[in-house]
Chain A
Amino acid sequence: MTTLDLSPAPGAAPLAQMVLAQAGAEIRATLRNGEQLLLTLIIPILLLVGFSKAPFLDVEGPRVDFVAPGVLALAVLSTAFTGQAIATGFERRYGVLKRLGATPLSRTGLMLAKTAAVIVVELLQIVVLVLVALALGWSPHGNPLTVALLVILGTAAFSGLGLLMAGTLRAEATLAGANLVYLLLLALGGVVLPVSAFPESIRPLLEILPITALTDGVRSVLTGVGGFPMGAALVLLSWAVLALAAAARWFRWE
């Protein structure tokens, strides 16, 4: 039988080590989860290829130039909001958040790890989607740093909304709700269908959705039509502040 030295030698690991370990576990869990990959990669790739090739869209210029920015925004939505909400909802339901709360990993450390995991998965998505789009003849313009800023603001807004949902609803309700919101925002938020396709009466409503702000902002930069998309950035910033504050206020760990 193995002998173990059980004599007490307590001590917390350095914060960076704990955060990296937890982020690694979350990334592995995401990449292994089939349903998650469907939302984060397969659907965005299918939409990108389908809407770039098939003549459904009536837009100026090459269709891929319109679709690629929308699909990049969808990738952010799928990981920061849908994936995170569902994963965190079930972690809460199965007592994982409670159990982690009893380890030296603080709640701040856990949130850092979740954020790091979301960003790493988003980078993987962006690399894959950009390669597919380039293969489809995409020619992006604009400043990549502006796109990065919009993606970070969008990530903050969607993470806040996802955590708010996961921390207040039952896991099953979060699962259903997060998928429903994904579909609604995919349809309404200018991802592959231009917002101009909707009746004028509801357009102002659609334009303040975080997904619309992200798709419009990223699209205006990458198609090189305008300067800095201040309106989109402000909408995303407002969503981020409100959603993160609400999540911090109402999130229940058990």
Chain B
Amino acid sequence: MEDAAVEVRDLVKRYGRVTAVDHLDLRCRRGEVTAVLGPNGAGKTSTIEICEGFRTADSGSVRVLGRAPEDPELKPRIGIMLQSGGVPQAARAGEWLRLVSRFHAHPLDPAALLDRLGLADHARTPYRRLSGGQQQRLGLAAAVIGRPELVFLDEPTAGLDPQARHACWDMVRELRAAGVSVVLTTHHMDEAEKLSDHVVIIDRGRVVAEGSPAELTGAERQLRFRARPGLNLDEVLSALPPGSAAKESPAGHYIIEGQVDPSLLATVTAWCATEGVTTEDLSIERRTLEDVFLELTGRELR
């Protein structure tokens, strides 16, 4: 499969009696940005770290750029950003990046990369004195400095302020434009929606949905409005075509799903008129990736 950057088939990973990855299939195409979404403990990091060669699978097959993950030939070809750490506490940001650059044949200029990620003023700052967001950006810099073909980013924007998050997004877009394949994990639905060509939602170690952001959010639209809490939605439902759904979540916020067309809109507003309800913020929207995600993985905290 020449066009696959990552090809995972029937992957299983257990820790003692806990099955973290449960017969998972994952395919990331070359030159694309693939976002792996999932609640905490869904098996995202286990899957990524098996692809990175840090952990071994219990069963299943994993190919990264057509090779086994532990193949030393892969090391220069992939760039890795860990969720956290990986840098000596006393190492200065600029020194660390220069060191990593010396492991590669055609590295980017460390000073230019620091500058690009807003770290130029911190080149002489020891890692432990960098803020969380600065540490994350240094991790991103180390992942791309060797000009890899494939980059794994494990929650690259966790803990970043909005400016730093946008800087990271710009870098991912530039990587993609330069023909680099990117696999990232994230909790931020907007990040996945904005950046990725392909979204994979995993839960309890399995893929529960995948597709482009547009495919996942679907053509289905919603009518949303705010009104006083506690309206009897059964009444409006009985007036709507079969297959429609209505819910109040949270209190005072109403969502009508189904064939959202002018007649549905008319039915709902007519019902509001008979009830003497004034609606606010009436809008027709597509489902967001977050809606899809919560639908698939549930709302309960883990």
Contact = CB atoms under 8 A, between A and B. Distances in A.
**Do these two chains really belong together in a complex?**
yes
Residue with the highest number of chain A CB atoms closer than 10 Å, among B85, B95, B104: B104
Interface string B26-38: 0000000000000
Secondary structure of the A contact surface, majority rule: loop
Interface stretch (A20-28, A37-45, A199-207): A20-28
B43 interface: no
Interface residue tally of chain B, by bracket?
A: 35 or more
Contacts of A10: 76-77, 104-106, 146-149
A10 to B, nearest CB: 4
Interface residues of A, number: 35
Given A4-B108, A6-B144, A105 B103 contact: yes
Nearest to A97: B86
Contact of A22 (B53, B54, B99, B104): B99
B179 interface: yes
Given A6-B175, A18-B103, A103 B75 contact: yes
Contact of A12 (B76, B78, B112): B76
Interface stretch (A88-96, A156-164, A182-190, A215-223): A88-96
Interface of A: 1-2, 4-13, 17-18, 21-22, 25, 28-29, 32-33, 90-91, 94-96, 98-99, 101-106, 254
Contact of B85 (A1, A94, A101): A94
Contacts of A21: 99, 102-103
B178 A29 contact: no
B106 A6 contact: no
Given A95-B86, A104-B75, 4 more contacts: A10-B76, A12-B103, A13-B102, A95-B85
A254 B54 contact: yes
A2 B170 CA distance: 13
A248 to B, nearest CB: 18
A213 B125 CA distance: 43
B52 interface: yes
A22 B82 CA distance: 20
